[in-house]
Amino acid sequence: MWFFTEEEKDLQRVCRDFAQKELAPFAEKHDYEESFNFSAFKKMAELGVLGITADPQYGGIGLGATAATIVMEEFGKACAGSTLSYLAHSILCVNNIQNNASEEQKAKYLPKLISGDHIGCMGMSEPEYGSDAVGIQTKAQKNNDGTYTISGTKMWITNAQYADIAYVYTRTGSERKNLSTFIIEKGTPGFSVGKPIHKMGMRSSPTGELVFENAKISSSQLVGQEGQSIYHMMKNLDIERITIAGISLGIAQACVDQCVKYAQERKQFGKHIGSFQLIQKMIAEMATETEMMRSFLYSTSKAFDQGIRGPSMAAQVKLALPKMATKIALDAIQLHGGYGYSREFPLERMMRDNKLNEIGAGTNEVMIMIIAKNLLSELKES
């Protein structure tokens, strides 16, 4: 886009090239097998993007929401599932540690996460508490010796099966806002990974349970002050919602590109279908909707990077873009007819993958609640 910096334009070109070489050729395979693209993940470290928002002293590149969203868009065009796993690692784990952990914790955990030696995840949602994130019931009980004992289960956790580091929200008090976070290492006694979760889409992004059965955790693994993690959670949700919308933008653009290509190749009634006005209308509308998504998303990410962070901004982007990308994907399938509905073309995978973006990081309905609450609150105060 015209308002990208030269650094952002360079990042876009590099990520686009990487995605076409390391993600796109293997997207169908990993979707079919429900397997994780380890090779691409390791090469993302070489590319330097596993620590996209992290401080350079730990190996990161210290960029903001706009740069992270550019990566999501370019990777998302090629393989949304692998991109979701990248988001869980770089935004939900690395970015949270960068923003909230102590210097000692950053020095201990960030270098290996950014180098790709370790894979990260975040544990927030639970079997009974998905949209109601503040209602989580996984408990961390402080012991007399200063350690904590954690019990509970986290559900729908991206990268669960392969994570070396889990950034986990727990309850440490009776009040709803008494939440505390711990950085928990793979192999900790009492901490295990439960069953894998088989999904409709994002099948190349592993999803599972984190199970804590009286897991004893050192107080050195507590992030910040006990009971203060509600603020960490809300702050990181904004950048999560902006960047996951970037994946939807990538999916929408990939659908438009596929439709333009198909319309120039497919013949019906002796003509390329691109010569039919109805096909032209569908492509023109999809392309226009995609450009609307792009402008909305990057103007929001730029504002976020400049410290302009209204309560509804991220929620509005998160509501609008995944919904529109699902519509575009369905229109693209319709344009392709029977081929669009088959696995011969990537459109059905793109549609399945994007549906997750209407659920993860807060459902459409939760976004509507946030936006309406803030609008009505502003009206009441005026």
**Do 344 and 250 lie in a common domain?**
yes
**Do 219 and 263 lie in a common domain?**
no
Q: Is 1 inside a domain boundary?
A: no
- Can you give the residue range of the structural domain that contains 373? 230-381
Confidence of residue 380 (pLDDT cuts 50, 70, 90): confident
Confidence of residue 163 (pLDDT cuts 50, 70, 90): very high
Q: What is the DSSP letter of 56?
A: G
The one catalytic residue in 22, 74, 240, 348 is 240
Note the pLDDT tens digit of each residue in 293-350: 999 999 999 999 999 998 799 999 999 999 999 999 999 999 999 999 999 999 999 9
Per-residue confidence (pLDDT) for residue 130, from 0 to 100: 85
Q: Is 33 a catalytic residue?
A: no
Q: Is 272 inside a domain boundary?
A: yes
Task: Please report which residue ranges of the chain form alpha helices under DSSP H.
Answer: 6-18, 27-33, 38-47, 65-78, 80-87, 95-100, 103-115, 229-265, 277-305, 313-336, 338-341, 347-357, 364-381
Note the pLDDT tens digit of each residue in 330-339: 999 999 999 9
Using DSSP, state whether 201 is helix, strand or coil: coil
**Do 234 and 276 lie in a common domain?**
yes
pTM strictly above 0.95: yes
Q: Write the CATH number for 138.
A: 2.40.110.10
Note the pLDDT tens digit of each residue in 106-142: 999 999 999 999 999 999 999 998 888 889 999 999 9
**Do 372 and 257 lie in a common domain?**
yes
Largest CA distance in the chain: 81
Note the pLDDT tens digit of each residue in 257-289: 999 999 999 999 999 999 999 999 999 999 999
**Do 113 and 12 lie in a common domain?**
yes
**Do 223 and 251 lie in a common domain?**
no
Copy the structure tokens of residue 8.
Answer: 């952002």
DSSP string of 305-335, one letter each residue? HTT---TTHHHHHHHHHHHHHHHHHHHHHHH
Q: Are 254 and 353 in contact (CB under 8 A)?
A: no
Per-residue confidence (pLDDT) for residue 382, from 0 to 100: 65
